[in-house]
Amino acid sequence: MAVGVFDSGLGGLTVHQAIAARLPDLPLVYLGDNAHAPYGVRTPDDIFDLTCAGVERLWAEGCDLVILACNTASAAALRRLQETWLPEGKRVLGVFVPMIEALTERQWGDNSPPRKVAVSQVALFATPATVASRAFQRELAFRAVGVDVEAQPCGGVVDAIEMGDEILAEALVTSHVEALLRRMPHPEAAILGCTHYPLVEAAFQRALGPQVKVYSQAGLVAESLADYLQRRPEFRGEGGTSKYLTTGDPVRVSGKATQFLRRSIRFETE
């Protein structure tokens, strides 16, 4: 048994890398649905169907616990998946809650009423589907009051990353940040609400300025998973082999992953 990590493409590798660093003895199976990326421009039903198919593929690899390392899937599909589709003995976790817990300085499982927190103006950068779902604002409202969230749909950024075009990706980031700053000139914090975005985090920070704290999900999700497995060790399993799977062209995907993470990664056909 291993733990599965699912994403629409390359972005979830940032989460995978952080989990592997935090839990080096934990076997991981990564599945990138590169053939259908990006998810951020798809309909909620389409995202749900693709996410279920990806999760089932990871179950076939022996992964009873799957991390949706994709904000779009977490926003558009996770709740419906957990409430209507998930069988007994399987778990699927998303990436939103660890981020919001860090932003609001609440511990995992803190179910006390929402309260005032340190920040009041938050910029959210995410895919169009994640922004449209308002899932971030909904989860935040369970934990905090008095926080103004300005969301910017970042069309094109995931496509540029998946194509391996860093120059285009960084230019699009600059444009999207400028658009948000016209509506919210002085955000105190910025949420990178897509696991692809840490690959261009430096571009977000440059465009926002050093005074804005940028929250990136990978390390937060890894720490949350470590805590979860400590409480639910039955989902950790024994043995298992780490591997990288893709629904796309494994040679092309391996090349793009190696380019962005700057270390060799070999994908296999899903």
- Catalytic residues, which ones? 70, 194
Query: Cα separation of 42 and 48, whole Å?
Result: 10
Q: 189-192 and 213-215: which strand pairing?
A: parallel
Q: 3-7 and 189-192: which strand pairing?
A: unpaired
Rg over CA atoms, the chain: 18
Six token digits for residue 114: 């929402």
**Cα-based angle 264, 15, 241 (whole degrees, multiple of 5):** 60
Place of tokens 């839990």: 23
Q: Which residues does 162 contact at the CB level (< 8 Å), separation at least 6?
A: 9, 10, 34, 37, 38, 196, 256
Six token digits for residue 66: 């799957």
**Element (DSSP H or E) covering residue 167:** helix 166-183
Six token digits for residue 152: 């910017």
**Distances, alpha carbon 18 to alpha carbons 22, 28, 173, 195, in Å:** 6, 12, 23, 12
Return the amino acid letter for 254.
Answer: S
